[in-house]
Amino acid sequence: MSDTPRMPDDLERFPGAGSLSWRYLGQWRLLTTIGRAIVLETAHPVVGAGVVEFSTYRRHPWRRVEQTLLSLQRLLYQDRADREREAARLRRLHGHINGVDPDGRTYSALDPEAQAWVHLTVFDALVLMCELGGDPLDDERQAELYAEWLLVGLQLGVPASEMPGTVPEFRVWFDEIVREKLVAGHGVEQLLDALGRLPAPAQLSFVPEAVWSAGCAVLGTAIRTAVATTLPPDYRERLGERGRVPFGARTVVSLACRTAAVASDLLPTKWVYMPLAATYIAAKREAGRGLRRFGPRDRSGDPATQLADLFVRILDQTGDGVLSWPDLAALARVFSDRLDLAAVDEEVMYAAFHAWWDELRATVDANGDGVVDADEYRVLAEAAPGAAMAALMVRVAAAVDRDGDGRIDQADYARLLGPDSVDTHRIGWLHAMDADGDGVVTVEEFAEALRESVLGRARSDTLEYVLGRA
């Protein structure tokens, strides 16, 4: 194995939109090879011992597949804070899986080698998915995907020293474990039996149980055969009769995988990817539209027109054509109501808006009539933000950050937008505020995005959604 250290700082380079991991992991066609990964995981003696004692296969045969796919999506596609929560949840969950196997050997789901094996069998499944689909990854793309997957492993807490550093090293390690450590134990038997039992979905509850059972017998055999076809030959022999592949099965599986690959190239994202992955992929695209900056080289909008539109639809809440304290008081009320602020925090919010109003009158009310019209407000677009305005935006952002951890996560943001907001849009708009692209929206970044929007230098879907609807 490589001795190259991989420190937690590497997580700053966590694979995001545009990475190979994002492209491949969430595709529905991973179902063609995820069975191989789960069987090989369970064949490891440590994992198999935990499966025998803690498994729910007999009662809920497909729960492991469903939970594995969901957890993988959470680990890869969600924002950094949510990824960290999912990784912590998995560590807590696995911390409860330990004991003594029938041969008297102690086991723990947190065993370092077992953790690395479970994690890296997914990389193996992704590579095989592409190979069987007719779009194999060349050496360069395999190396790129593997480097990404190591970072996901670090996020999970897999020790760097347990994960081979390169794809060639991984292949040697993988083959060695298959050859010398994997067993065809009771855990694998339970898993293969479970793959043949398909629970009837609620939509088909009208189908007689005998008919459904007969259909499952045929389909279950086909699924087990398809999974066996994807297993390494050495391990398939170890399975004996359960690993036998009938004549023609490889051709059928190859055809199915290629069909799935073609469909993935032709169908829209929402059908190609599993729900959580599809939501976040769409959200990243939405993020490009969620905060649109108007710079000298960006002709997507005219700053003057944008500022006039902002003034009429967002700032002039009373609709009298000018900006006055009642307008800003209305904005303070909207934020306070949406964030459900306590009385003392609401007073602070109103005070911050009033300080900005005093600053506006002192700096842009050129004729001294006590109100600010659109022409006077336009001066702000070319000026540096005043101290009161900058402080106000930080105050609003800090109020959104309910737990005070210095970052705005989806729960914080959803509280501001309300439960009726569309998930994809909400995630996309939040991502648009991530100025440095590190997967975390800090209070400062959120405040800057609001400030740039109020100055007419960018268009914020957040402000339009919250204040344009007020």
pLDDT (tens digit, 9 = 90+) per residue, 425-461?
Answer: 677 778 788 887 777 888 999 998 888 888 877 777 7
pLDDT attached to residue 133: 92
Predicted confidence (pLDDT) per residue in 127-180, tens digit: 999 999 999 999 999 999 999 999 999 988 999 999 999 999 999 999 999 999
pLDDT attached to residue 105: 86
Predicted confidence (pLDDT) per residue in 78-92, tens digit: 878 788 888 888 888
pLDDT attached to residue 403: 84
Lowest-pLDDT range, 66-70, 198-202, 248-252, 429-433?
A: 198-202
Alpha helices in 31-138 (DSSP H): 31-43, 45-54, 63-77, 80-95, 112-132
pLDDT attached to residue 297: 33
> Please, what are the domains in the chain?
8-273 (no CATH), 283-467 (1.10.238.10)
Amino acid at 248: G
Whole-angstrom distance, CA of residue 307 vs CA of residue 210: 67
Nearest CA among 149, 137, 467 for reference residue 328: 467
The yes-or-no verdict on residue 1 having pLDDT over 60 is no
pLDDT attached to residue 98: 87
DSSP for 389-426 reads HHHHHHHHHHHH-TT-SSB--HHHHHHHH-TTS-HHHH
| Percentage of the chain exceeding pLDDT 70 | 86
Find the helix or strand (DSSP H, E) in which 444 lies: helix 443-454
pLDDT attached to residue 222: 83
The yes-or-no verdict on residue 421 having pLDDT over 80 is no
The yes-or-no verdict on residue 188 having pLDDT over 50 is yes
Alpha-carbon distance values, 388 to 323, 358, 367 (Å): 17, 9, 21
pLDDT attached to residue 298: 38
Q: How confident is the model at residue 469 (pLDDT cuts 50, 70, 90)?
A: very low
Are β-strands 458-460 and 106-108 bridged in parallel, bridged antiparallel, or unpaired? unpaired
The yes-or-no verdict on residue 259 having pLDDT over 90 is yes
Query: In this structure, what token pair is assigned to residue 151?
Result: 């970072």
Nearest CA among 448, 435, 447 for reference residue 395: 447
Predicted confidence (pLDDT) per residue in 272-318, tens digit: 998 888 888 877 776 655 544 433 333 345 666 677 777 877 888 88
pLDDT attached to residue 444: 92
Predicted confidence (pLDDT) per residue in 347-397, tens digit: 899 999 999 999 988 888 888 898 888 888 888 777 777 899 899 999 999
Q: What percent of the chain is helix, strand and coil (3-state, nearest 5)?
A: 65, 5, 30
Q: Any idea what DSSP says for residue 372?
A: B
Q: Rounded to an integer, what is the distance from CA 96 to the centroid of its chain?
A: 25
Residue-averaged pLDDT of the chain: 83
Q: How confident is the model at residue 210 (pLDDT cuts 50, 70, 90)?
A: confident
Q: Are 146 and 123 in contact (CB under 8 A)?
A: yes
